[in-house]
Amino acid sequence: MADNFIYGFHAVVSRIRQDAKSVTEVYLHRERQDPRARDLLQLAEEQGVRVIFMERHRLDGMAGNDKHQGVVAKVVAAREYHDVFDVLENLKEPALLLVLDGVQDPHNLGACLRVADAMGAHAVVVPKDRAAGLNATVRKVASGAAETVPFVTVTNLARSLREIKEAGVWVVGAAGEAESDLFSAKLEGPTAWVLGAEGEGLRRLTRETCDQLIRIPMFGSVESLNVSVASGICLYETRRQRNRI
């Protein structure tokens, strides 16, 4: 696999703790001598990860920005799946998938990965085009979840949804105008939640491919939620229903 860069203390520390062998080197700003930097140095030494000190401008070049907090790591890129069945065939419980239709903001994608990890989703599925992919910003926001949640990139989302349905997974789209709401939904079986970008929602073909459309009840003045927040609500309700059985 090719090398990749991740940055930020949370992302780098999480990667070392989860899979130190996948971390080739850690690059640390030479002027950082604070407790957070010392803790990272200790962890890297314990796990046998080489640390190289360097100037900030070189870290900027590796990360592609100046938001790296003074730490960048070269890692073996996590596997990106191109077939959701690579994930489904090895499951020991009913499938729980998060499908994102047209989410282009890397911060939103990173937050969705973090939510998916927290709620035990088995994969995040995205289309290849017109959507954010795994990059350093996504990995930083995901805080390690980009390395733990299978990330499936598909060429044709509608076709992939039909294949998921044929595999016995109930495909549920989140749509504000849906007649049924989350409180009445039955989510105990294999489920794939499909969410669109904030403001745009699901594309027409994606919407038509879903088995069911569900809306999240809203009790305040706002009309929509950030996609990562909506994802968390939907995945949490699915887990809640399964745990009461």
Task: Say if residue 130 is in the same domain as residue 227.
Answer: yes
Find the CATH number of the domain harbouring 166: 3.40.1280.10
- Name the pLDDT band for 161 (thresholds 50, 70, 90): very high
Q: Which residue range(s) make up the domain with 211?
A: 84-243
User: Best-predicted range by mean pLDDT among 11-20, 57-66, 95-104?
Assistant: 95-104
Task: Say if residue 62 is in the same domain as residue 38.
Answer: yes
Find the CATH number of the domain harbouring 25: 3.30.1330.30
pLDDT at res. 5: 84
Number of domains in the chain: 2
pLDDT at res. 21: 85
Task: Say if residue 222 is in the same domain as residue 168.
Answer: yes
- Name the pLDDT band for 80 (thresholds 50, 70, 90): low
Phi/psi at 243 (5° precision): -75, -15
- Strands of the sheet with 80-81, listed across from one edge: 80-81, 151-154, 123-127, 96-101, 191-196, 170-174, 212-215, 180-181
On average, the pLDDT of the chain sits at 90
| Between residues 170 and 18, the one the model is more confident about | 170
Task: Say if residue 165 is in the same domain as residue 223.
Answer: yes
Q: What is the mean pLDDT of residues 120-149?
A: 87
Task: Say if residue 46 is in the same domain as residue 70.
Answer: yes
Would you say 196 is a known binding-site residue? Answer: yes
Task: Say if residue 122 is in the same domain as residue 8.
Answer: no
Task: Say if residue 143 is in the same domain as residue 199.
Answer: yes
Q: What percent of the chain has pLDDT over 90?
A: 63
Distance CA 97, CA 117 (A): 11
pLDDT at 14 over 90: no
Task: Say if residue 22 is in the same domain as residue 62.
Answer: yes
Which contiguous run of DSSP H or E holds residue 239? helix 227-243
Task: Say if residue 119 is in the same domain as residue 61.
Answer: no
pLDDT at 66 over 90: no
Which contiguous run of DSSP H or E holds residue 28? strand 23-29
Q: What is the pTM of this model?
A: 0.75
pLDDT at 1 over 50: no
Q: Which residues pair with 80 in a beta bridge?
A: 151
Would you say 225 is a known binding-site residue? Answer: yes
Task: Say if residue 159 is in the same domain as residue 213.
Answer: yes
pLDDT at res. 2: 47
Distance CA 155, CA 147 (A): 22
Where are any strands of DSSP class E within 102-227? Answer: 123-127, 151-154, 170-174, 180-181, 191-196, 212-215
pLDDT at 202 over 60: yes
Would you say 91 is a known binding-site residue? Answer: no
Q: What is the mean pLDDT of residues 48-68?
A: 91
Q: Which of 69-73, 143-147, 173-177 has the lowest mean pLDDT?
A: 143-147
Task: Say if residue 96 is in the same domain as residue 126.
Answer: yes
Task: Say if residue 189 is in the same domain as residue 233.
Answer: yes
| Between residues 89 and 70, the one the model is more confident about | 70
